[in-house]
Amino acid sequence: MESRFTRIVVENSNTIVQMWIKEIDSLKEVNYTATISDSLYDSTNREFAEVIFTSIRNQGSTNAVEEFSGKIIKLGWPLSYITDGLQAFRRVTTDFILSQSEKVDTDYFSNVLSSVNHWIEPIIRQLVNDYTGSWENILSLQRVALQELSAPLIPVIDGITIMPLIGTIDTERAKLIMEGLLQGVIKHNSEVVLIDITGVPVVDTMVAHHLIQAAEAVRLIGAKCILVGIRPEIAQTIVKLGIDLSDFATKSSLKKGFTSALEITNRTIVDLESKEEKVEKLIHLLQGE
């Protein structure tokens, strides 16, 4: 029975594809793919049809499907293009087979439906799997990328280290920050650590809590922590929230923080006299004689 349907469909593949493409074209108006150029849309549709028929002929071979899904994912087309396309194919094929048969009873009808489903389902499964697989892949890559930019620790000068924080701090990042901070302080033998929060968009109680904990831990291993880069609006929200940062040395900018870090480590910045000035002074002295 099923092989007879296969024969009908394969023999009339051209007619079915024509009907299917007409159906798909009407879908183009209502969905997502309206911005895609007609020629590309057309050639992809033909390829899609070819893939479906190859799969039907080979009783569910998946190589062609895999190749096709890879291509669609690369093009960045929505998953609904594929599911809509296959639903349309199911409708068209069922209609076609029924129109080709003289005698239609319930058994016959359910036979047609089940064999059409039998062709379509493995393709849907494969394509949806490939799609979600690629999304999960992107997600995990972004996670890794996010972790990479997590919290670098930069030793700028003997005893002074800077940790610039950028972006949102969640529990996981907070943990990484704490670990990185403590290890870095030991490794670089820092006396002062500057935590720069210029790039942190929102400081809520959780972020503040993590910062306070980090500073406390740094204090325990004998270093000093200065919080820098507090923007005026952040300062106001911290005050309104009622967060107590009084145990914490804070400065508005990294520059000021660095200067006070130098003071703590008994250093100052001295401008060197330029060579020209020296020569001028010398000339002045000579003229005076």
Binding residues for other proteins, per CB under 8 A? 168, 170-171, 201-206, 208-209, 212, 232-234, 236-237, 240-243
Nearer to other proteins among residue 70 and residue 201 (C-beta): 201
Rounded least distance, CB 241 to other proteins, Å: 4
Paired residues of 163 in beta bridges: 195
CB of 239 to other proteins, least distance (A): 9
- Show Cβ contacts of residue 278 under 8 Å, excluding neighbours closer than 6 positions: none
**Cβ–Cβ under 8 Å, residues 154 and 164:** yes
Q: How far is CA 42 from CA 21, 28, 94, in A?
A: 8, 11, 23
Supply the minimum distance, in Å, between the C-beta of residue 174 and other proteins: 11
Please identify, using beta-carbon distances, which residue of 59 and 205 lies nearer to other proteins: 205
C-beta closer to other proteins: residue 120 or 208: 208
Amino acid identity, residue 111? N
Residue 172 Cβ vs other proteins, minimum distance, rounded to whole Å? 8
Quick one: 15 or 236, whose CB is closer to other proteins?
Answer: 236
For the beta carbon of residue 72, count every other beta carbon within 10 angstroms: 20
* Cβ nearer to other proteins, comparing 208 with 249: 208
CB of 206 to other proteins, least distance (A): 6
The nearer residue to other proteins, 104 or 239, going by C-beta atoms, is 239
Query: Least distance in Å: CB of 31 to other proteins?
Result: 23
**Shortest Cβ distance from residue 119 to other proteins (Å)?**
38
Q: Looking at beta carbons only, is 234 or 264 nearer to other proteins?
A: 234
